[in-house]
Amino acid sequence: MLTKLILIVMVPRKRELQMTDIKQLITKFEVTTGDIKLVRKLGDLVMPEIDKHLDSFYSWMSDHPEYDHYFANDQQRLQRVRKMQIAYWNSLFNATLDEDWYEERRNVGEVHANIDLPNDIYFAGVSFSAQSIANAYKNKASSDQTHDFNIAFHKILFLDSFIVIDRISEIQKEKLNASAQELVEMSTPVTPIYQGILLLPLLGIIDSGRAKEIMQRTLAAISKYRATVLLLDISGVSVMDTQVANQLLKIAGATKFMGCQTMISGLSPEIAQTLVELGINTGDINTKATLEDSFQAALEKLNLNITPHAL
């Protein structure tokens, strides 16, 4: 019941927001009702000859390597894309700048992003088609009318292409964020190495964003594995600024509240000096020279000892 209620509330809000976005875009690109009327009129001139324009488009595209890449030996795909292009131009000249049109353009962007269509060939293709269409109506309209057609047509074409590119850019950002998230997950390998002992070896550069991530993951792992000792080895950390050094000490402090003692090893002279210069109280934090020392101390804390097998 609750889920249904939430859906009822959420859906109109999303659509409302989208329509506002569309209106703002139309205003930003200065598309007027006059432009829309002109583009529709232009459609009446262009659409009957759209096949001719598409023939010349594919002839132009066959000179580019992308043609072979996407259509080589695949006539079915070529025909499918061609049909979609007819629908695209039909929709552009119909100029009904509503949510459906907006979603269609975003879908085009999604398809382009998924097939990794380079932006240069997309824009070059739009530019070629615009020229081809403009040349065609130049011969059919008066010079004043051609000028007005040009302005209206290009406004809508730019708006249209922007939505496509904007969606491509959104998807690229999403992919980048997902990769960054995966990298963060891989770069915080909190591992239980023995009952009650967690190991966190850190490598590379630590910035404040990563330090926060380390804090969250470490605390979650302590809770999950009921750890009483955390071995934090930072000998592989190349760069650490003062804020991050402070953040690491905070991790040690926070783990203490969870009943887990942190032992930090591998502190370089530079990091140690930074902590001293900052006047940070490290008295409560257990630092060890090496990971081996930390591990030994952890075993002692847990009243454990490793003895070699009797021969």
Partner 1 sequence: MRSEKRELAYELMQPYEMTNFKDELSSLQERIYLTDIHSVIISLEQVQLLVVDEALLLVKAVNSLRIMGRSVRLTKIQPSIALVLNECSDCFQISDS
Residue 288 as a binder of partner 1 (CB under 8 A): the answer is: yes
Token pair 């057609």 in the structure block, residue: 149
Stretch of residues binding partner 1 (CB under 8 A), selected from 57-65, 67-75, 251-259, 272-280: 272-280
Residue 193 as a binder of partner 1 (CB under 8 A): the answer is: no
Residue 265 as a binder of partner 1 (CB under 8 A): the answer is: yes
Region for 145 from its dihedrals, namely left if φ exceeds 0, alpha if ψ lies in -120 to 50, beta otherwise: alpha
For the bound state, the minimum distance from the C-beta of residue 192 to partner 1, rounded and expressed in Å, comes to 20
CA distances from 236 to 130, 164, 268, 291 (A): 56, 44, 10, 11
Q: Is 86 exposed, middle or buried (0-12, 13-18, 19+ CB in 10 A)?
A: middle
Torsion sign across C-alpha atoms 69, 72, 77, 80: positive
Do the bridges between strand 229-240 and strand 261-265 make them parallel or antiparallel, or are there none, so unpaired? parallel
Stretch of residues binding partner 1 (CB under 8 A), selected from 51-59, 106-114, 191-199, 303-311: 303-311
Residue 240 as a binder of partner 1 (CB under 8 A): the answer is: no
Residue 293 as a binder of partner 1 (CB under 8 A): the answer is: yes
Residue 220 as a binder of partner 1 (CB under 8 A): the answer is: no
One of 103, 120, 277, 284 touching partner 1 (CB under 8 A) = 277
One of 276, 302, 303, 309 touching partner 1 (CB under 8 A) = 276
For the bound state, the minimum distance from the C-beta of residue 268 to partner 1, rounded and expressed in Å, comes to 6
Looking at the Cβ atoms of 152 and 200, the one nearer to partner 1 is 200
For the bound state, the minimum distance from the C-beta of residue 296 to partner 1, rounded and expressed in Å, comes to 6
Residue 210 as a binder of partner 1 (CB under 8 A): the answer is: no
Residue 242 as a binder of partner 1 (CB under 8 A): the answer is: no
Residue 296 as a binder of partner 1 (CB under 8 A): the answer is: yes
Beta strands per DSSP E along the chain = 191-194, 197-206, 229-240, 261-265, 286-288
Contact 200, 234 (CB under 8 A): no
Q: Which two tokens stand for residue 234?
A: 């930072």
Contact 181, 216 (CB under 8 A): no
Amino acid at 172: Q
Residues engaged in binding partner 1 (CB under 8 A): 264-265, 267-269, 272-273, 275-277, 282, 287-290, 292-293, 296, 305-307
